[in-house]
Chains A and B, each alone.
Chain A
Amino acid sequence: MTLARTISKGLIGWILVSIVLSALTIISAIGLMGTSAYLIIQAGFHPSIAVLQVAIVGVRFFGISRAVFRYLERLLSHRLNLQILARIREHVFLRLSQKYPMHLSKFTSASLLSLLIQDIDMLENLFVRFLLPLASAMLVSVAMSLFLGMYSLEIVIVMLIGFLMAGVFLPYLSALAARQTGHKVVNSRLDYQQCLLDFLGTFQESLMYRQGSIILQEQIQIEQKMAHFQWKQKVLQSVFGNFGFIVIQLTALSVIIVGLFLPAQSRINVIFLAVFYMMVLASFEVVQNLAASTNMYGSISASARRIEELDKKIPATVLPKKTLDLSLFPIELSNVSYRYADTAQAALKEITIKIENGQKIAIVGRNGSGKSTFIDLLIGLLNNYQGEVWFNGIELRTITRNNLLARIGLIDSQPYMFSTSVSGNLLLANESAHLEDVKNIVQKLGLSERLDEIKTDQIEESGRNLSAGERQRIEIGRMLLRDSEFFLLDEPLKNLDPTQQDQIRVLLREKINDHACVWITHQFDQMEYFDKILVFDNGLLVEEGDHDSLMKSNGCYFSMNVTN
Chain B
Amino acid sequence: MILETRLARHVLKFPWLFALAILSAELSAIVLIFQLKLIARLFNTLIFVKPVQFNPRSILISIALLIAMRALFTFVENLASQRLAIKIKSEIRRTLSQRLLSCENLQGRNSGDLQSVFVDDVEAIDLYFSQYLSQVYLSFFIPLTMLVFVFPLDLLSAIIYVVTIPLIPFFMILIGKFAQEKNDRQLGVLHQMSSFFYDSIRGIKTLIVLNQIEAHFKRIRKAAMEYQKATMAVLRISFLSAFTLELLSTIATAIIAVQIGIRLLQGRLGFENAFLILLITPEIYLPLRNLGLRFHAAMNGAAAARNIFSIMDSPVKVQNQDSKISPDFDKAKLIEIKNVYFRYEDDRPLITNLNLKIEIGSRIAIVGASGSGKSTIFQLLLRFIEPTQGDIVVDGININQFSLTDWRDRIAWMPQNTLLLNGSIRQNLLIANPMACDSDLLSALEQVNLLGLIDSLPKGLDTMISEYGHKLSSGERQRIGFARILLRKSALILLDEPTSSLDPESQEMIMDCMPELPETATVITIAHRLKTIIHANRIIYMRNGEIAAMGKHSELLLQDQEYAAFCLSTIGEKNE
Please give the residue numbers on chain A whose beta carbons come within 8 Å of chain B beta carbons, in ascending order: 28-29, 32-33, 35-37, 39-44, 46-47, 49, 52, 55-56, 59-60, 62-64, 66-68, 70-71, 74-75, 78-79, 82-83, 85-86, 89-90, 92-94, 96-97, 100-101, 110, 113-114, 116-117, 120, 189, 192-193, 196-212, 214-216, 218-220, 223-224, 227, 230-231, 234-235, 238-239, 241-242, 245-246, 249-250, 253, 256-257, 260, 270-271, 273-274, 277, 366-367, 379, 381, 401-402, 405-406, 408, 410, 412, 415-420, 428-429, 431, 458, 478, 482, 491, 494, 497-498, 522-525, 560, 562-563
Contacts and interface: CB of A to CB of B under 8 A. Distances in A.
B251 A64 contact: yes
B384 A204 contact: yes
A246 B71 contact: yes
Contact of B421 (A41, A117, A218, A253): A218
B265 A494 contact: no
Given A33-B282, A256-B42, A110 B251 contact: no
A203 B232 contact: no
Given A71-B243, A189-B119, 18 more contacts: A32-B253, A33-B253, A35-B257, A49-B262, A75-B235, A78-B231, A90-B217, A92-B201, A205-B413, A210-B431, A227-B86, A238-B79, A242-B75, A249-B70, A410-B209, A412-B209, A416-B203, A560-B574
Contacts of B275: 37, 40-41, 274
B565 interface: yes
A241 B72 CA distance: 12
Query: Which of B70, B217, B254, B418 has the largest count of A CB atoms less than 10 A from its CB?
Result: B254
Contacts of A93: 197, 200-201, 204, 216-217, 220
B75 A401 contact: no
A286 B417 CA distance: 54
B253 A36 contact: yes
B274 A40 contact: yes
Given A44-B271, A208-B413, A100 B258 contact: no
B60 interface: yes
A49 B282 contact: no
Interface stretch (B43-51, B354-362, B439-447): B43-51
B201 A207 contact: no
B501 interface: no
A366 B63 CA distance: 81
Residue among A37, A46, A52, A238 facing the most chain B CB atoms (10 A cut-off): A238
A204 B569 contact: no
B206 interface: yes
A17 B205 CA distance: 41
A32 B94 contact: no
B67 A78 contact: no
Contacts of A560: 568, 573-574
B208 A100 contact: yes
Contacts of B572: 366-367
Contact of B209 (A66, A114, A193, A379): A379
B568 A200 contact: no
Contacts of B70: 245, 249
Among A86, A197, A205, find the residue whose CB has the most chain B CB atoms closer than 10 A: A205
B212 A60 contact: no
A401 B242 CA distance: 52
B67 A563 contact: no
Contacts of A241: 78
Contact of B565 (A417, A523, A562): A523
Contact of B278 (A37, A89, A257, A562): A37
Interface stretch (B95-103, B328-336, B394-402): B95-103
B294 to A, nearest CB: 14
Given A52-B265, A78-B235, A40 B417 contact: no
A40 B206 contact: no
B388 interface: no
Contacts of B195: 419
B160 to A, nearest CB: 13
B424 interface: no
A380 to B, nearest CB: 9
Contacts of A220: 90, 94, 97
Given A205-B418, A209-B419, A246-B68, A49 B208 contact: no
Nearest to B198: A117
Which of A40, A210, A497 has the most C-beta atoms of chain B within 10 angstroms of its own C-beta?
Answer: A40
Interface of B: 39, 42-43, 46-48, 56, 60, 63-64, 67-68, 70-71, 74-75, 78-79, 82-83, 86-87, 89-90, 93-94, 97-98, 100-101, 104-106, 111-112, 114-115, 118-119, 130, 191-192, 195-213, 215-217, 220-221, 224-225, 227-228, 231-232, 235-236, 239-240, 242-244, 246-247, 250-251, 253-255, 257-258, 260-262, 264-265, 267, 271, 274-275, 278, 282, 382, 384, 405, 408, 411, 413, 415-422, 431-432, 481, 557-558, 561-562, 564-565, 568-569, 572-575
Contacts of B56: 260
B118 A196 contact: yes
Which of B209, B235, B278, B557 neighbours the largest number of chain A CB atoms within 10 Å of its CB? B209
B232 to A, nearest CB: 6
B242 A90 contact: no
A74 to B, nearest CB: 5
B60 A256 contact: yes
B239 A71 contact: yes
Contacts of B220: 86, 89-90, 93
20 contacts: A33-B253, A40-B260, A43-B260, A43-B265, A49-B262, A64-B251, A74-B242, A86-B225, A89-B224, A200-B114, A205-B481, A208-B408, A260-B46, A274-B46, A412-B206, A428-B210, A522-B569, A525-B561, A563-B558, A563-B574
A43 B562 contact: no
A148 B68 CA distance: 27
Contacts of B39: 277
A215 B419 contact: yes
Top 3 nearest A-B pairs (CB, nearest first) are: A63-B254, A416-B203, A201-B417
B206 A416 contact: yes
Contacts of A209: 419, 431-432
Contacts of A524: 564
Nearest to B224: A86
Contacts of B246: 66-67, 70-71
Nearest to A245: B71
B250 A62 contact: yes
Nearest to B281: A36
Contacts of A482: 210
Among A218, A270, A478, which residue has the most Cβ atoms of chain B within 10 A?
Answer: A270
A211 B421 contact: yes
Contacts of A37: 275, 278
B64 A216 contact: no
B261 A56 contact: yes
A83 B97 CA distance: 44
Contacts of B239: 71, 74-75
B573 A406 contact: no
B178 to A, nearest CB: 16
Given A44-B48, A100-B208, A367-B569, A75 B232 contact: yes
Given A67-B246, A402-B211, A560-B574, A204 B254 contact: no
Contacts of A218: 421-422
B403 to A, nearest CB: 13
Contacts of A29: 250
A42 to B, nearest CB: 8
Q: Which of B79, B202, B205, B264 has the most chain A CB atoms inside 10 A of its CB?
A: B205
B60 A246 contact: no
Nearest to B415: A205
Contacts of B232: 75, 78-79, 82
A256 B201 CA distance: 58
B102 to A, nearest CB: 9
